Amino acid sequence: MIARRVKLRLTRPQTAALDGWLWSCTGVWNWALAKLLEREQAWQRFRDETPPPAWAKGARNPKWLASVPGGTTPTAYELYALLNGHSKRMGLPIDLLRGVVDDVVRAHQEYRRGEKGRPKWKGKRNRLNSLRIKSCVRLVDDHHLTLPTIGAVKICSQKDLVDLCANGVKQARLQRLPRGWYLTLQVDAAPKAIPLVSDETVGIDFGFTTLATLSTGEKIANPAEYRRLEQRIGQAARGRHRRLLAALQQRLSNARRVRNHQISRDLVSRHQVLYVSRDNLKGLQRTFGKSVHAAAIGQLLGTLAAKCRQAGRVYVEVNPKQSTRTCSTCGALSGPTGQPGLSVRQWECGACGAPHDRDINAAINTLRAGAASALRVTARAAA
């Protein structure tokens, strides 16, 4: 499954129509959420007021809870049945309404499993900004597609888009972003293979001044996209230009995403095994909040791991404990320590006298720690 996002070049009537879709589906979201919460509250009242039978051995027995009338929240199919006839009255595609119901049910299930917070009501302050369409999108050519009740829509052309969607569009999601409307297409196609230029093994240490340092000595500089837009973002925030601020933040997000895809593809194409230092980003963010957020290391790690799985590479995360202090030549703990030691980028081992670059030394130690863990796993498997 491949996801491809395209920008829509809408006319004013088409933009107004999609804005109307969002507002109408906001009511559908709130209605479906009310149905889910109503059933959940009725179930809780019944459970509190009705004592469990003796065989249940407690009020939390799953078999007894499953037998309680209305004990489960409404399924998406139950809500589908309640929507019969409303598609024509509202002038909206039925797949659009069902997509909203699916989103609400999924959000509520994630809340009940403890994965996310409770779904919130939608309105003017908390707007619904995306709509899922199951199978109503038809691609005409690289420049046009059709949407139900709207007709032909121009899109910003993308290479090989028609060939990619030859087997049909499995699912699509309309999304209103600060810089316009976008459509994300999910198609059943195999991703392009990433050719392997060399089968080397590498250790990678991530940072903020230097985005990534390889054990080979290569350094990937941090483009610092936020620093280039920081002044304009501050001016827009102080001037309360909300649309301009949102557009600048979207541009910044796009630049980071493109940069991370390019870097991760380059690393995957040049290495067969990648040992990556997995730092505590949440802990670092408490001290270096702006730098951690601007570097987007978490997104880069996720993109790198996904491309390694896609290309059949070996991706291993390594605990970076003492990687900057340990001498990669003799193994002594002689590197700079503490908060003041972060500014020391070049240091010399007190035990063997070997000079070190802080980041390159950490990358080499990451490579050795990853290789050692792989050997231990192999030895246990052989035993």
Q: List the 169-177 sheet strands across, edge first.
A: 130-133, 169-177, 180-187, 2-9, 151-155, 144-147, 138-139
From 244, 237, 207, select the one nearest 361 (Cα to Cα): 207
The ranges assigned to domains in the chain are 2-187, 200-382
Q: For residue 213, count other CB atoms closer than 10 A to its CB.
A: 25
CB count in 10 Å sphere of residue 312: 11
Q: Using alpha carbons, list the distances in angstroms from residue 107 to 40, 103, 116, 266, 353.
A: 14, 6, 8, 36, 58
Instruction: Give the residue carrying structure tokens 């995403």.
Output: 257
DSSP, collapsed to helix, strand or coil, labels residue 333 as strand
For residue 101, which of 34, 173, 32 has the smallest C-alpha distance?
32
pTM above 0.75, yes or no: yes
User: Please, where are the H alpha helices in 192-347?
Assistant: 225-238, 242-270, 281-287, 289-295, 297-311
| CA 252/CA 298 separation, integer angstroms | 16
For residue 109, give both structure tokens: 């299930």
Q: Report whether 187 contacts 167 (CB < 8 A).
A: yes
Three-class SS state of 318: strand
Q: What is the pLDDT of residue 103?
A: 92
Provide the residue type at 221 as one letter. Answer: A
Residues in the chain: 383
| Model pLDDT, residue 302 | 93
Closest CA to 356 of 378, 331, 317, 328: 328
pLDDT of residue 383: 46
Assigned token pair, 51: 């004592």
Pairing of strands 271-277, 314-318: parallel
For the chain (383 residues), the mean pLDDT of every run of 10, in chain order, is 84 92 92 88 73 63 60 78 87 88 90 87 88 80 84 82 72 88 83 83 89 91 87 90 90 92 93 90 81 87 92 89 85 80 81 86 90 65 48
Q: DSSP secondary-structure letter at 187? A: E
Nearest CA-CA partner of 307 in 269, 349, 343, 252: 269
